[in-house]
Each structure stands twice: as C-alpha cells, then as structure tokens.
Structure 1
Amino acid sequence: MSENVKDTTPTASVPAEVWVARKRNNVRLAWAFGGVAIFLFVMALWKLRPM
C-alpha cells in the first residue's frame, strides 16, 4: 500500500463514541439532502405538468 493513501480508520485519539455520532449525523444529513432533492424534483414535475 502506498504511503500517500490516507488511513480512514478511527485512531485512538478520537473515542469510538465520536465516530458513532459522526456516522449518525452523516446519515441524518444524507436523508436531509435526499429529501430536498426529491422535493425539488417533485416541484419541477409540478411546475412542468400539462395544463
């Protein structure tokens, strides 16, 4: 493995609870962005609907 590749595993300097909280927040953020994307898609369909 190359030395230029960053290791993404949690290190001992950051507690496991912090990584769990970060993962949970990342999932929550993904759901929020997904909801916004679906909302914008539905609004675009609504705007372009045939009259």
Structure 2
Amino acid sequence: VVGEYGMYGSGLVIINPPWTLEAELRACLPLLKDLLAQGTASFHLERSAG
C-alpha cells in the first residue's frame, strides 16, 4: 500500500545448525506464517553442504 511502511523481506543464515532444526522449522514455519502474516507471506528453506 502506498505510503505505508513494512518489511518487504528478510533472511537468516544458520551456520552449523543442530541436525533436528530443519524438521522442526518445516513443522512450525507454516503455523507462524499463518499467525503472523499481514497480507501475503511465504518462507523458503534451503540446505547447503560443503
């Protein structure tokens, strides 16, 4: 909306996460998105090794 302020995007890099974190995030992020979204919202998990 023109004239309103808000967050357009953000990111987070987690180095050396616990091995259970990905499964826990996949379970809770959809719920958090639904609870906190104001309009459209999405999330993306990406794993990188090496």
Same-fold call, TM > 0.5? no
TM-score by length of 2: 0.32
Higher Rg:
1
TM-score by length of 1: 0.31
